[in-house]
Chains A and B, each alone.
Chain A
Amino acid sequence: MHKRVTYSSVWLPYLLVLPQVAITLVFFIWPAGQALYQSVLRQDAFGLRTEFVGLENFIDLFQSDRYLDVFLNTILFSAATTFSAMGFALLLAVMADRVIKGASVYKTLLIWPYAVAPAIAGVLMWFLFNPTIGFAAWALGGVGVEWNHYTNGTQAFILVVIAAAWKQVSYNFVFFLAGLQAIPRSLIEAAAIDGAGPGKRFWTIIFPLLSPTTFFLLVVNVVYSFFETFGIIHATTEGGPGGATEILVYKVYKDGFVGLDLGGSAAQSVVLMAIVIALTVIQFRYVERKVQY
């Protein structure tokens, strides 16, 4: 789509795009290029000599059990976060769509966690589940679960999933509710006249019609859990105990900034870049489909 009426000037358009282009080149394209470049180099222990090693950094990476563990951890973390955040949000959105009175009040009361930073969400849960003074840990103790995320890796993992999902519920809720409200009432009424109960209507009509929203949210949630949850991990578990909550973005930070392994960290960056690119492509293909839909 293009404008029929345009202005012509030799220098003005360049001047207008200059700030954006300059920042993009200096802080995005150049560093990304550097990451690509460094991922095929290796420095010796003293940082004196640098040599070209081809794909060796990548081969090392994928032959390292630790990296594969972290990769698997990230996939589990992402799946658990996405599933819980979307499931909970869908349940609430369906209920809010059903009630005639108060839907907007519920919306206002559910929307605010979106504004809470992931790191702060992590800190809130870290306290809520604190083994000695946390309310949730105390309640769990009441039903016989001994909660201690300082020593129990599985529990620490569940904790960061809860923190990540808690924050994302409101976002999913907004989109699910909008999707539900866009479904024509006549379809649902027709099904009801044919004798379909609420459960059957949901699974045979509402849920399939909601699939564009669901798919879109799936991608957004996966991207969120892969890339925006660094703060949760860093502010609370710091990858522990025993690496149980280490995820890819945390490892790339730790290896690069704390471990100072330039080549290895750059190779991890490149892997992450490939993941974002793949996810973005999926998202945009879907957006094109939505336009035709």
Chain B
Amino acid sequence: MVENNRMLTFVSHLVLVLGLLTVALPLWIAFVASTHGQADLIAGRIPILPGAHFMENWGTAVTSGLKRAGGVPVGLMLFNSLVMAIGIAVGKIAISIISAYAIVYFRFPFRMAIFWMIFLTLMLPVEVRILPTFEVAANLDLLDSYTGLTVPLIASATATFLFRQFFLTVPDELTEAARMDGAGPLKFFKDILLPLSWTNIAALFVILFIYGWNQYLWPLLITTDENYYTIVMGIQRMVTVSDEEPRWGIVMATAMLAMIPPVLVVIVMQRLFVKGLVEQEK
């Protein structure tokens, strides 16, 4: 920076640390609560340090869940969330990369019409077409199934744009050289374009995994069978119990379990994550 003003630098660090603590506070309190028994919590003492019931709460959550909330073990919900997140991420990438390839590398009737139709999905989030989309899924017999949780969400305008954008920067000489060597369109895609796209695919995967993991409304609509609940939507049943205080220790253990996988993905793959985030908005 321009001035070498120690006071200003100190203030900057102070603001940042206070900001960090504010942002982290809910997480800390959740963790602390997940280590205390129900009796400690509802006695009205506000614990700010971890207690001794960590194994008990987390264990109960993972293996048996809460009776009042249908008793679905969080372990099963975590598995469902994982299937949904990976299914959506892989599905979106797979169908987007091949449609982008077709749109960039082929000339065919209705090419632009198809391009604009894919673009249109950007303007139609689930939230604005809840009932009719549910009806379609019900008519196709997709309720309470992994197909129903993933397939209806895998059309992706942003992923298609991203790949289209990237393919347009791939030099034509590569295509010419491949053709000269006798590679057909599928071979060119598999042996040249796909390896070149690897970082883009990985960056997109990070973003889409989080997108899929954090879905709420769609699993809420499509699942009535508890065996297909995902953790992000399943937690709602634990919180909104009507006539008594929720079992906060177990609820908070569940909340922690629900955020650990996506948070880990973001922290471990921070570089790819930021790349994906920024490129998605181009």
Contacts and interface: CB of A to CB of B under 8 A. Distances in A.
B160 A20 contact: yes
Given A127-B251, A174-B274, A115 B155 contact: no
A237 B201 CA distance: 38
B83 interface: no
Contact of A92 (B15, B152, B258, B273): B15
A34 B220 contact: no
Contacts of B125: 227, 276
Contacts of A138: 46
Given A99-B9, A112-B267, A272 B128 contact: yes
A13 B29 contact: no
Contacts of B217: 230-231, 234, 253
Contacts of B23: 110, 113, 166, 169-170
A91 B270 contact: no
A272 B127 contact: yes
Given A7-B106, A20-B156, A116-B214, 19 more contacts: A3-B168, A19-B95, A19-B98, A23-B151, A23-B154, A28-B155, A32-B132, A35-B132, A91-B15, A92-B19, A95-B16, A115-B262, A115-B263, A117-B258, A124-B30, A132-B42, A216-B281, A227-B127, A256-B131
A84 to B, nearest CB: 12
Main secondary structure of the interface of B (DSSP, over half): helix
B107 A262 contact: no
Interface string B142-180: 000000000111111000100000011000100110010
Contacts, number: 306
A171 B217 CA distance: 22
- Among B26, B48, B98, B102, max chain A CB count under 10 A is at B26
A6 B107 contact: yes
Interface in B238-261: 239-240, 245, 248, 251-252, 255, 258-259
Contacts of A32: 124, 128-129, 132
A288 to B, nearest CB: 12
Interface string A102-123: 1000111111111111111101
B114 interface: yes
Contacts of A170: 23
Contacts of B137: 27
A17 B115 CA distance: 10
- Among A28, A91, A112, max chain B CB count under 10 A is at A28
Given A17-B114, A126-B239, A132-B44, A276 B121 contact: no
B120 A29 contact: yes
A125 B114 CA distance: 43
Given A198-B8, A249-B127, A276-B128, A174 B236 contact: no
B25 A128 contact: yes
B131 A257 contact: yes
A21 B114 contact: yes
Given A28-B121, A252-B127, A91 B19 contact: yes
